[in-house]
């Protein structure tokens, strides 16, 4: 018997949708990206199960605010069993962060990461360095800064 081993990159260009995926939500994110300059955005994505919290999240927020870097941040609650998306982002971000970065950034819960990585506005990825995210970023030519979440 002959075994077949995939070594990649094998990329699902459409990505998996969340079972409770909200198409209007996805359209809003993609529409916002359509109005950004090419390669101007840094995409923060920590995988389907990954998240950052507390001091790490505050440091990311401080860095984004100080640099003025344009960004899309996929932010999910750690260890949540129902919806992992935050209902109130002010509870975890710096006071006034959303208002001060409204013109430079967008924060959402789950986003269709493969579609976003393929978008012309994305110029970089901060990633948990999961295999799929890494292969997808290579495929679309998006440079990666790694932030190990597991391991």
Q: What is the pLDDT of residue 27?
A: 85
Higher-confidence residue: 49 or 130?
130
Kindly report, residue by residue over 23-67, the tens digit of the pLDDT: 667 888 999 999 999 999 999 998 777 777 778 888 888 898 889
Residue 75 falls inside a structural domain: yes
Which residues have CB under 8 Å from 77's CB, separation 6+?
Answer: 51, 84, 85, 86
Residue 61 falls inside a structural domain: yes
Residue 113 falls inside a structural domain: yes
Per the structure, the count of domains in the chain is: 1
Domain span including residue 113: 37-146
Check pLDDT > 70 for residue 68: yes
Q: What is the pLDDT of residue 86?
A: 66
Check pLDDT > 90 for residue 84: no
Q: What is the pLDDT of residue 71?
A: 94
Residue 31 falls inside a structural domain: no
For range 96-123, the mean pLDDT: 89
Residue 22 falls inside a structural domain: no
Residue 96 falls inside a structural domain: yes
Supply angle C-alpha 54, 121, 133, rounded to 5: 55
Reported pTM: 0.81
């Amino acid at each position: 018997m002959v075994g077949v081993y995939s070594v990649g990159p094998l990329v699902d260009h459409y990505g998996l949708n969340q079972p409770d995926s909200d198409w209007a939500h996805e359209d809003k994110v993609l529409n916002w990206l359509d109005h950004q300059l090419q390669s101007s955005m840094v995409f923060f994505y920590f995988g389907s199960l990954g998240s950052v919290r507390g001091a790490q999240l505050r440091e990311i927020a401080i860095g984004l605010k100080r640099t003025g870097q344009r960004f899309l941040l996929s932010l999910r609650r750690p260890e949540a069993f129902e919806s992992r998306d935050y209902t109130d982002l002010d509870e975890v971000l710096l006071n006034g962060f959303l208002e001060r970065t409204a013109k430079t950034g967008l924060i959402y819960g789950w986003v269709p990461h493969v579609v976003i990585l393929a978008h012309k506005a994305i110029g970089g990825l901060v990633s948990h360095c999961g295999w799929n995210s890494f292969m997808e970023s290579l495929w679309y030519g998006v440079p990666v800064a790694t932030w190990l979440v597991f391991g």
